[in-house]
Structure 1
Amino acid sequence: MISINRQSDYAIQLVVALSKVSKKAPLSLKKFSTDSNISFLFLQRIARSLKNAKLINSSRGMYGGYFLVKAINKITAKEIMEAVDGPFGVAACFRGHACPRVKTCTSKQVLNSLNIQLNNILSSMIIADYIVKVK
């Protein structure tokens, strides 16, 4: 079964939370960790990856925290997942790894089609479209 790992799940949750704050009032990672019951150290690693991908940034100081750099209506599920997990691919051979069975693989066409379709879906999923508006 194909599933999204915990790191991608939490990264999406963090980006959604960051969509509700601004650069002038950033989100404390410590507070988000406590509120969401996610390990602070794990969130730090996720935030670092998202920052390296230029999706988020941080400010230091007493009122520091994290905020989005890219508009939420421009961020895709694929961007977030690749920021924390590396290149998308349903199998190792689609993530740039060499396969000893490349010449004899009987499932390559099926997996390639699946890879293309999932890639297209994740690339078209704009996170802003899935955020529930709460008044």
Structure 2
Amino acid sequence: REKARIIQDEYTKRMQQVTPQAQEFLAKWEKTWFTNVQQYSGDKKAFFKQMIELIPQLMEEVHGFSEETWKSLEEQFPEQTAAWKDNEDRLKQFYEFIKSLPKQDLAEDPEAFRKFAHLGLQKLLPIEALRA
């Protein structure tokens, strides 16, 4: 419990230092992620399908960030923004790939799952969360 509190306090401190646009984005996607984890607990296929369907929305929001928002995220979440930049080409390629598939095929396509699994999205999590 103490470790979880420390992680939450550090995250909250960082959140208070980013732009309102970044705060809104992070709060929304944090809630979305945890809601899906709870809803699809034990059903990896359904979770995978849901997360794939959310990627276009995520990409659109990220591409709409102002320069000030990017700077605030880079200052407060340097590990995650570096990981995003390192994986941005793969994310874009994956985004283009999933746009080419019919929605009903996304969760069934082994290539989609393989590409999703190799995106390195765990690098986008705060370092405190990875230590937990």
TM-score (normalised: structure 2)? 0.29
| Greater relative CO (CA pairs within 8 A, separation 6+) | 2
- Structure with the larger helix share: 2
- Structure with the larger strand share: 1
TM-score (normalised: structure 1)? 0.28
Give the greater-gyration-radius structure (CA). 1
